Amino acid sequence: MKLLHLGILAGTLCCAGCAELVPAPAQSGIDPRWMDATVRPQDDLYRHVSGRWLDTAQIPPDRARYGAFDQIKDQTEARLHDLIEGLAAQPDLAEGSNSAKMATLYRDFMDEKALAQRGIDPLKPWLDRIDDVNGPASLARLLGQFAALDIPVPLEPGVSPDARASTHYAVYVSQGGLGMPDRDYYLNDSDARLGAVRQAYRSYLETLFSLAGQPQPAFAAERTLALETALASVQWTKVENRDSIKTYNKFALSDLESRVAPDFDWQSWLQALEISGRADALILRQPSYLQALGKLSRSLSLDDWNVYLKARLLDAYAPYLSPPFVQAQFHFQGTTVRGIPENRPRWKRGVAVVESAMGEALGQQYVEAFFPESSKERMQILVDHLMQAYRQSIETLSWMGPDTRQEALRKLAAIGTKIGYPSRWRDYSALEIRAGDLLGNLMRASEFETRRQIGKLGQPIDREEWGMTPQTVNAYYSPRMNEIVFPAAILQPPFFDPDADDAANYGAIGAVIGHEISHAFDDQGSQSDGEGNLRNWWTDSDRVRFKALTEALVQQYAAYSPIPGYHVNGQLTLGENIADNSGLAIAYKAYRLSLGEDEAPVIDGLSGDQRFYSGWVQIWRSRVREAESIRLLKVDPHSPPAIRADGALVNQPGFQAAFSTQPGDRLYRAPADQVILW
């Protein structure tokens, strides 16, 4: 599939593709089995549509949450398992082929007996490297080598288009290196639950050190926790890290030691990652953190860094070692942090191993077996409709002036679309996979990906590259590429049902499309232009009006408290809340435009508009364990599912009309109080 740069037509919906729409079938797309008639839609449409599901569905013991996304993931995972098992059963796969490599990865992971016999042996060479660290240069070098292996360390490099020169790749450096989900887990002494997780983390570290034969494991655990707490204390918050302007700080390589962190051996770190000679600058996302890290790299003893690096190595590879390591890692990261009672079945973890190492190779087989081209074609029609509805909305916004409006329309017209799968599949021929060497294979896969990323430096921007695999149940907007991407796996019910009435599809996948387009115009995406460059294309007065609207959303969502004592972070979730509210509004406009002069039929007692909004809330049905809810409130830029569903409805005039809401209804909001952005 070639990259599409959509041409947007002015006026009413009249694209050539509109005639290709399949006539609406007589299926509502709303599952009546789960509706709870005892809950009024005007008070809680989310529970009205899915209340019986919410009351009866059980979270599987190997999950932290379960909902519509997870049901699709289950089906997709089972299909991937069948594909991989089929490969693993073939004795004559061509040596060096993608199929042979995937089969080897899966067979080696499933051979639990062999992994148990090896114990800690596969990591001993790396544990020895840690023991060999004898100064700033070797410490920086090892931090770079660990980053290449995708082991969480204090400096995390990445390659993407330069936010101020989007036709060139640049190296970004971000903070990292914590073993718990967020800095709050280290620093918040007033929250007893986070304190309990902190104590469990200390015990987990002690167990890892004991299993690895580390002397004085309890003391090593204390020193590791102290070092990570020092890192957490200088890290930026999740809210600060959302700021596109604050997190863009470009420094020439020659200035890193003089202006950023003179105590850190940058040259050794750059050489370990093979960045030297390929880039002349780094973009530092949190420069004050890196300055503090440089000081910590010298002020903390090498013994402290020794046990810390061992902890990060052991934690990263524990799932692929002997059963005691697997059990210890799951008990903390799964049960304590997320509330999951049981580890996933081994076959599911085996599928994940193949996906992590060779995701696009597996995706290619998935697409060939399970993705119909008809879904891609109908999805493109929906995208076209959403883009035209967005254009009409921008053209009529009352709060936006003409200069900003023209820039917004230019950016909208430049948005590219990718649906289903890449036009060019990733080449894994340079990835070496050896039978009987699971950890070595996983390390080589990480190094392969690091080399692939670093190899982009100095090359033209690859407009065909995907940031997700086709089997990923998700979608995304890329501000640097100014494109929306919809992998094949999300194009399944209840998000996209080819046999359902258009209303439910517009409310579900249509709102998802609108959500991703809206990221181009949320509080951060709106700071980039159509070429993907950070540039202020707003007039000052329009930005002030926009900020007033977004601040109203911050206040709305900050008032929600899904768990007593824990509120939604309105600033952290602002971008996603903007996208939910705007995407739903644009999807509704697109749906109404698609009807033309016709009226939607009543199906299962629901009007077209009622099916549209029911389709929206249906995709968010989900149950989440309490520990996972707390974790997500700390780290996730999305609001909880029930809040995403109903929270966007109060700002939708179409919803208020469809269900005849009145003052006193929980989801009623007076027109003057509704937050309408795009």
**Is the separation of the CB atoms in 289 and 236 below 8 Å?**
yes
Total-model pTM: 0.92
> Does some domain include residue 183?
yes
**Does residue 8 register a pLDDT over 80?**
no
pLDDT of residue 499: 87
Output the CA angle 469-472-478, nearest 5 degrees. Answer: 65
Letter string b/e over residues 3-31, b meaning 16 or more CB atoms within 10 A of that residue's CB = ebebebeeeebebeeeeeeeebeeebbbb
> Does some domain include residue 283?
yes
> Does some domain include residue 158?
yes
Range of the domain at 235: 118-343
Read off the pLDDT of residues 9-19 as tens digits, 9 standing for 90 and up.
222 223 333 33
- Measured distance CA(665)–CA(252) in Å, rounded: 58
Q: Residue 538: pLDDT band by 50, 70, 90 thresholds?
A: very high
Sequence-distant (≥ 6) Cβ neighbours of residue 398 within 8 angstroms: none
Per the DSSP assignment, residues forming a β-bridge with 534 are: 528
State which H helix or E strand residue 478 sits in.
strand 476-478
Other CB atoms within a 10 A radius of the CB of residue 312 amount to: 23
**Does residue 21 register a pLDDT over 60?**
no
Q: 31-35, 177-181, 556-560, 595-599: which range is least confident on average?
A: 595-599
**Does residue 665 register a pLDDT over 50?**
yes
CATH number at residue 129: 1.10.1380.10
> Does some domain include residue 331?
yes
**Does residue 242 register a pLDDT over 50?**
yes
> Does some domain include residue 312?
yes
First to last CA, the chain: 30
pLDDT of residue 506: 97
- For the residues 64-76, what does the mean pLDDT come to? 97
Q: Residue 371: pLDDT band by 50, 70, 90 thresholds?
A: very high
**Is the separation of the CB atoms in 412 and 31 below 8 Å?**
no
Query: What region, left, alpha or beta, does residue 601 occupy, with left being phi > 0 and alpha being psi -120 to 50 degrees?
Result: beta
Q: What is the mean pLDDT of the chain?
A: 94
Parallel, antiparallel or unpaired: strands 165-175 and 622-624: unpaired
Domains contained in the chain, number: 1
pLDDT of residue 427: 98
In the DSSP assignment, the letter for residue 177 is -
Q: Residue 26: pLDDT band by 50, 70, 90 thresholds?
A: low
**Does residue 280 register a pLDDT over 90?**
yes
> Does some domain include residue 133?
yes
Amino acid identity, residue 145?
Q
pLDDT of residue 498: 86
Read off the pLDDT of residues 477-536 as tens digits, 9 standing for 90 and up.
999 999 999 999 999 999 999 889 899 999 999 999 999 999 999 999 999 999 999 999
Q: 8-22, 103-117, 185-199, 233-247: which range is least confident on average?
A: 8-22
**Is the separation of the CB atoms in 264 and 144 below 8 Å?**
no
**Does residue 288 register a pLDDT over 80?**
yes
- Measured distance CA(579)–CA(639) in Å, rounded: 11
- For the residues 232-239, what does the mean pLDDT come to? 98
- Measured distance CA(492)–CA(490) in Å, rounded: 6
Q: What share of the chain has pLDDT > 90, as a percent?
A: 94
**Is the separation of the CB atoms in 529 and 535 below 8 Å?**
yes
Q: Residue 3: pLDDT band by 50, 70, 90 thresholds?
A: very low
**Is the separation of the CB atoms in 46 and 617 below 8 Å?**
yes
- Measured distance CA(113)–CA(127) in Å, rounded: 23
**CA-based torsion, 264, 269, 271, 276: positive or negative:** negative
- Measured distance CA(537)–CA(543) in Å, rounded: 10
> Does some domain include residue 508?
no
Helix 136-148 and helix 302-317, axial crossing angle in degrees, nearest 10: 10
> Does some domain include residue 548?
no
- For the residues 618-623, what does the mean pLDDT come to? 98
